[in-house]
């Protein structure tokens, strides 16, 4: 046997046993090569593919317009390795998902033909669709819960605001009318303190329900984190906390709503500052992983007890005597509005790490 004949035999054997489908079309539009995998994917016997043209086999089926368009785009644009994933309905009615790579072949001024490589990704596509549907359902349930909570919070804030103001005002008038009687003064002071706390709660709930809709845009990361850094330093100085504050920012620009993101990070950082007493450290890191932005706030504070961890994003949950417990709840809502996720890892006595992950497009 001639060397060319041996090579041809080997090539044919390789193509026949490929797990991906292979088709070759000559300059007259005739399918001159089709392997078994292509036959299985397209639902035509090999001998029905060979000698026929794309036009008579596939073009008349309107459901396969996207599939056919791949070949037409390759011809129209004389494309090299055009890649596209499309649905394809076989003659038996079954729909499969094919990843297609196709090239227009030209030798100088002469059209040689087209090669088409097919990969059946139906199983993978079905997993993706199932996952997408599950995530959409999860998001819908979360949105419903968040909306219910928002309406409840709005109603409670509205109902509590007026009686609180009345109680505070009346306590003030009683205090003035009753003179310097020590017991009355003490009672009035306590009423005042309780009213002040109620007003703080109402303000926190108001801030929660009044969050604006997210308006994402590109902004410079360095200036944004510099601003947060300054606020944290001022807070730490005001509270006499000798805390070291470190910042590691990798992306030059971030795509998000800067106002909302600042609000969320401020709450997380303040929480970290409150939990870190003595010569502790707080580290703020931001990293862009192509389609995801990760921001981590890590402190070396007292940590969170495992029993408290499941509740830290719930409204009004706090372990502090003076706290309202809406800060992390607000941060979680903002992250949810930005279509991201927030997680917390904590070790009592060693510190806490809060991680925010946001979908992040590639900057163009």
* 289/362 Cα distance (integer angstroms): 10
101 binds other proteins (CB under 8 A): no
Yes or no: say if 114 and 103 are a contact pair by the CB < 8 Å rule. yes
Candidates 27-35, 42-50, 232-240, 324-332; binding stretch for other proteins (CB under 8 A): 27-35
By beta-carbon proximity to other proteins, the closer residue of 30 and 231 is 30
Quick one: 225 exposed, middle or buried, by C-beta within 10 A (0-12, 13-18, 19+)?
Answer: buried
By beta-carbon proximity to other proteins, the closer residue of 13 and 72 is 72
**Chain centroid to CA 177:** 59
Yes or no: say if 216 and 251 are a contact pair by the CB < 8 Å rule. no
Q: Which residue has the tokens 């969050």?
A: 211
Residues 109-138 touching other proteins, rule: CB under 8 A, are 111, 113-114
52 binds other proteins (CB under 8 A): yes
Looking at the DSSP bridge assignments, the partners of residue 343 are 355
* 130/136 Cα distance (integer angstroms): 10
By beta-carbon proximity to other proteins, the closer residue of 32 and 166 is 32
CB of 74 to other proteins, least distance (A): 9
Task: Give the single-character DSSP code of 342.
Answer: E
* Residues ≥6 apart with Cβ < 8 Å to 229: 245, 247, 284
Candidates 50-58, 121-129, 149-157, 224-232; binding stretch for other proteins (CB under 8 A): 50-58
Among 20, 29, 119, 325, binds other proteins (CB under 8 A): 29
* 336/302 Cα distance (integer angstroms): 27
71 binds other proteins (CB under 8 A): yes
By beta-carbon proximity to other proteins, the closer residue of 4 and 107 is 107
Candidates 70-78, 178-186, 303-311, 334-342; binding stretch for other proteins (CB under 8 A): 70-78
Among 45, 55, 91, 242, binds other proteins (CB under 8 A): 55
In Å, what is the CA distance from 101 to each residue of 33, 65, 71? 16, 17, 10
By beta-carbon proximity to other proteins, the closer residue of 100 and 265 is 100
25 binds other proteins (CB under 8 A): yes
Task: Give the single-character DSSP code of 26.
Answer: E
| Residue ranges that bind other proteins, judged by CB under 8 A | 25, 27-30, 52-56, 59-62, 64-65, 68-69, 71-72, 75-76, 111, 113-114
């Amino acid at each position: 046997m001639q060397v060319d004949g041996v090579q041809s035999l080997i090539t044919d054997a390789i193509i026949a046993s490929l797990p991906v489908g292979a088709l070759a079309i000559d300059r007259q539009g005739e399918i001159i090569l089709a392997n078994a995998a292509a036959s299985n994917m397209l639902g035509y016997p090999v001998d029905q593919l060979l000698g026929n043209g794309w036009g008579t086999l596939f073009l008349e089926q309107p459901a396969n317009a996207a599939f056919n368009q791949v070949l037409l785009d390759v011809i129209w644009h004389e494309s090299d390795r055009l890649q596209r994933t499309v649905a394809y309905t076989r003659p038996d009615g079954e729909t499969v998902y094919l990843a297609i790579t196709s090239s227009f072949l030209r030798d100088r001024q002469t059209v040689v033909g087209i090669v088409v490589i097919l990969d059946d990704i139906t199983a993978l596509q079905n997993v993706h669709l199932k996952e997408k549907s599950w995530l959409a359902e999860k998001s819908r349930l979360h949105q419903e819960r968040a909306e219910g909570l928002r309406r409840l919070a709005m109603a409670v804030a509205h109902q509590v605001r007026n009686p609180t103001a009345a109680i505070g005002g009346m306590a003030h008038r009683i205090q003035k009318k009753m003179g310097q009687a020590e017991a009355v003064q003490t009672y009035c002071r306590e009423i005042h303190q309780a009213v002040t706390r109620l007003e703080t709660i109402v303000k926190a709930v108001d801030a929660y329900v009044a969050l604006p809709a997210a308006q994402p845009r590109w902004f410079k990361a360095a200036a944004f984190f510099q601003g947060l850094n300054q606020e944290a330093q001022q807070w730490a100085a005001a509270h006499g906390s000798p805390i070291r504050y470190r910042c590691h920012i990798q992306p030059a620009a971030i795509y998000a709503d800067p106002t909302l993101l600042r609000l969320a990070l401020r709450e997380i950082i303040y929480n970290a500052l409150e939990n870190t007493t003595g010569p502790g450290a707080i580290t703020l890191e931001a990293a862009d992983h192509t389609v995801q932005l990760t921001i981590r706030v890590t402190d070396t504070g007292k940590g969170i007890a495992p029993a408290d961890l499941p509740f830290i994003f719930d409204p009004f949950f706090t372990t502090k005597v003076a706290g309202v417990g809406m800060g992390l709840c607000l941060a979680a809502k903002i992250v949810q509005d930005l279509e991201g996720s927030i997680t917390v890892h904590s070790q009592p006595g060693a510190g806490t790490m809060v991680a925010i992950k946001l979908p992040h497009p590639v900057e163009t």
